[in-house]
Amino acid sequence: MTVSTTGTAPETMTGATAEAAGAAASQHGIIGRPVARIDGPLKTTGTAEYAGDFHLPWMAFAVPVQATVGKGTIRSLDVTAAEAVPGVLAVLHRGNMERLYRAVPNDPNATVSETRPAFEDDRIYYWGQYVALVVAESLEQATAAAAVVKAEYAAETPEVSRELEPFAGKWNTVSTRGTVDAAFAAAAVKVDQTYGTPAETHNPIELHATVAVWDGDRVTFYESTQGVVNHRNAMAQILGVPRENVTVVTKFLGSGFGGKLFPWPHCALAAVASRKLQRPVKLVVTRTMMFSNVGHRPVTEQRFRIGASADGKLVALRQDALNHTSLVDSFDEGCGEATGYLYSVPNLTVASALVGRNVGSPMAMRGPGAVPGLFAMESAMDELAVALKMDPVELRLKNDATVDESNGRKFSSRHLRECLETGSAKFGWKQRTPQVGSMRRDGKVLGWGMAAASWGAYRFACATTVDLNADGKARVRCATQDVGTGLYTIFAQVLAEKTGLPFERIEVLLGDSSMPEGPLSGGSWSTATVLPAVAEAADGAIASLLSIAASTPGTPLAGADAKTLRMTEGRVHRATESAGLPSAGVPFEAVLQAARLNGVSADGRSGSVFEDPKARDLSMHSFGAQFAEVEWEPEIARLRVSRVVTVIDAGRIINPRAGANQIRGAVVMGVGMALLEETVYDRRNGQPINGNLADYLMATSADAPEIDVTFLDYPDFALNSYGARGIGEIGLAGVAPAIASAVYHATGVRVRKLPIRIEDLMQA
C-alpha cells in the first residue's frame, strides 16, 4: 500500500513539514533532519486505513465467546439460542469447526503467539479463552448471539497468584562468569533484595483486528500485525494452504508494543469463518479481550545480589529471575537481557525460570526482558549506592564496562559514560543532596533518582525494490510495516537522499506480504534493517538509469561514459556540471521517456547481523541514562513525576523529530509502569478484573512530566552504513527504576514491587 504525499499532503502538511519540504529544494542532508512523518496528514485527517477500517461488500462479523472460568473443562456448550438470533450465520466451536493445524514449532519465519489453536481441546487454560465463535450479518447481532451461548464448565480453581516464590523447579543459567556466590559472601558491601513487576497489558489504542477474505483457494488478511511476512507464513501453515495463496495487508498500525508481533488465535478463526461462509469476515478483538487473549508482559520476580568493595567497585552480581507463563506456552521474558554487559563485574551469574499460571500466553512488550530486568538491577544499584554512601551516578561511572564481559567482545559503539555525564549536567544532578526528604520546592518534597538503560541493536534480512518511473516519481516497496513510529518516513528519507527528489515525488509502499520481504517490526531493529536495503536498491536503480542515459540516442547525455554521470535533485547530469542548477543535465524522467521505458527497477538486500563477519564479533547495544524528579506531598500522599531528562546513545538518528517523539512516548509509558499499570487477576476465576481503560490505569497527558530528550548521535557503522541503531524500546528502559529511586529519595520508602502505589507511600 502506498503512502504518498502527492495530492492530500501539500494542503494538510504541518508548518514544520512544509518548511522541511521547502528546504528540500535540496535533499542533501535529509538524513538526520527532523522531518515530519509523511503519513501524518493521513492520520490527522482520519484517512489512514487501519485493519478494522476495511469494509468489504457482503462482509460478515465475528465475535468470540470467552470462557468465564480460569481453569477447568467444558462440560457442555449450548448454541441453540445463539443460532436462533436473527442474522446469525454460523456458531463455530470444537464440535463443528474444521481442525486447524499448528504452526511448525520454532520456525523463526512462522512464529505464533499462542501455539494452541482455538478449540483444540475441551480444556480451559485461562479466563477468557475462546470457546466458540459467532458469525452474523452485523456486529450487533453477533454480539447479542455470543452473549446467549451457554457454556457449562467443570471449573477448577485457577492459579494466578502474582507471587512466584517459593519456586522449586529447575533454574536455567543464562550467563555466568567467575565464582559469584563466594565473591558475594566476601563482599564488603552487599545488597540482597527481590524485585517484582506486574502483568502489564500492551494496550495499543488500535485494537487487534482481522478481516479475512477468501477468493477461491486464496485468502487475503487485512490485519493489525507487526509482521506481514511472518503472519502470512504462519497463516499458511495453520490453514493448510500454500504460502503463495496467502496475502497479508497492514497499511497502518495504531501501534502494537510487541503484542501484534505474531498471530493470535482470533486471526485463524476469522479466516476459517470466512472460508466456511465464503464471505469476508471481520473480527475485532474487544478492549476487554485485549487483557486476556492477546498477550501481556508477564509477572516477574527477581532476586538481585550485588556485592561491592568498600569504595564501590562491583565484585559480584547475581540475578535469579522468575517470570510467569501460560500453561500452553513457555514464554521466557529474558530478564537478564542487559545484566551481563552493562557493568564491569568479575563474578556474575544470571539464572531464570518459568512459573506456570492460568493466564493467556505472555508476549514481548516494549523492551522485553531489559525493561523489567533493569527495573530490578538499577533499583538494586541505587540501594547499593545508598549502602555505600556513594552518588548513584558515580557508582555507575566507576563500574562502566569497556568490553562486553559476558562474551569478551568489543562494543561496536558504547557511550554510556557520556549519557550519564550529559544527563547529569542537563538535570542539574550536582545540586542533589542525598538525604531522604532533604530537597524541597514550593512546599513539596522533591525526589531525584536516576538509572542507566540499554537495549540490543540488531539488523535482520531485508529485501526492497526501488523503481524510478517515467512519471517522474521514485517508488520503494517492502513487505514490512510502520507501527506508527515513522518507518514510512525513513524509507522516504533514504530515497530522497539518493535521488534528490522531494517527498511529493516519492512513494513508499509497505505493509503487503506480496512485496519483497522485509523485517518484523520488533526489537527496535526496523530502521537499522531497512536502511542498507533501500540504499542498495536506490543505488541500483540509479545506476541502471545512468547507464540508459549514456546509451540512449537522442538525449543530451547520449554517448557519455555512465561512470561520469550523476543523479542529483532528480536530474541526470555530468559529474562536472554543478549539481542542483536547473540547467544541469535533464530531469530523470526525460531519460526514461526518451528511452521509451516505463521505468527502471533494482532490488536491494541487507543481511542479518548474525551472518555479518564484520559485526558478529562485536557486542552491539544502545545505551541511555534516565534522570527523574518526583514531587511528593506527604500530607496528602500525593506523588507526581515532574521532570525526566533522558539521554540516548542509539547510533545516528535518521529522523530526530520522530525519534524524540518515540522517546517521549516511552518516558510517559515508563511513568505508567512505575506508578500505575498492573493487570489484576481475580484469584477465584483468573479474570483480569480491571480489563478496561478506566480501571487499568495508564499515564494520561496530565501525568506526563516535562521531558528533555537528548540523542548523542554517534554513528554505529558496524550495524549499517548509516550508523543507525533503533530507538523503539530503549526510551522505556530505566524510567521506572529512576522514578522508584526518586521516590525513595523523596519519601524514604523503597518500593521493590511495581507499581508504586499510594498505599506503599503512606508508610512514609
> Contact residues for other proteins (CB under 8 A)?
68, 140, 143-144, 147, 635-638, 640, 675-676, 680, 682, 684, 687, 689-690, 694-695, 697, 699-703, 757-759, 762
Whether the bond between 755 and the residue before it is cis, its omega within 30 degrees of 0, is: yes
The nearer residue to other proteins, 310 or 758, going by C-beta atoms, is 758
For residues 756 and 447, the answer to whether their CB atoms sit within 8 Å is no
Min dist. Cβ of residue 69 to other proteins (A): 10
The nearer residue to other proteins, 1 or 148, going by C-beta atoms, is 148
Helix runs in 553-623, H state only: 588-594
Min dist. Cβ of residue 180 to other proteins (A): 38
The nearer residue to other proteins, 199 or 474, going by C-beta atoms, is 199
Min dist. Cβ of residue 637 to other proteins (A): 6
Beta bridge partners of 507: 4, 475
What nine digits make up the cell of 376?
530490578
Phi-psi region of 338 (alpha: psi -120 to 50; beta: other; left: phi over 0): alpha
Beta bridge partners of 283: 210
What nine digits make up the cell of 433?
543532596
The nearer residue to other proteins, 558 or 762, going by C-beta atoms, is 762
Pairing relation of β-strands 130-136 and 88-93?
antiparallel
3-state secondary structure of 46: coil
Min dist. Cβ of residue 733 to other proteins (A): 22
The nearer residue to other proteins, 11 or 635, going by C-beta atoms, is 635
Min dist. Cβ of residue 688 to other proteins (A): 10
Which amino acid is located at 609 in the chain?
V
Q: Which residues are catalytic?
A: 729
The nearer residue to other proteins, 144 or 620, going by C-beta atoms, is 144
Min dist. Cβ of residue 340 to other proteins (A): 35
- Give the H/E segment covering residue 194: strand 189-197
What nine digits make up the cell of 181?
556466590
3-state secondary structure of 420: helix
Min dist. Cβ of residue 153 to other proteins (A): 12
Cα 317 from Cα 339, distance rounded (Å): 9
The nearer residue to other proteins, 75 or 218, going by C-beta atoms, is 75
CA quadruple 159, 164, 168, 170: dihedral positive or negative?
positive
Cα-atom radius of gyration of the chain, to the nearest Å?
Answer: 27
CA quadruple 281, 282, 288, 291: dihedral positive or negative?
positive
Cell 558475594, residue? Answer: 184
For residues 554 and 597, the answer to whether their CB atoms sit within 8 Å is no
Whether the bond between 688 and the residue before it is cis, its omega within 30 degrees of 0, is: no
What nine digits make up the cell of 227?
509482521
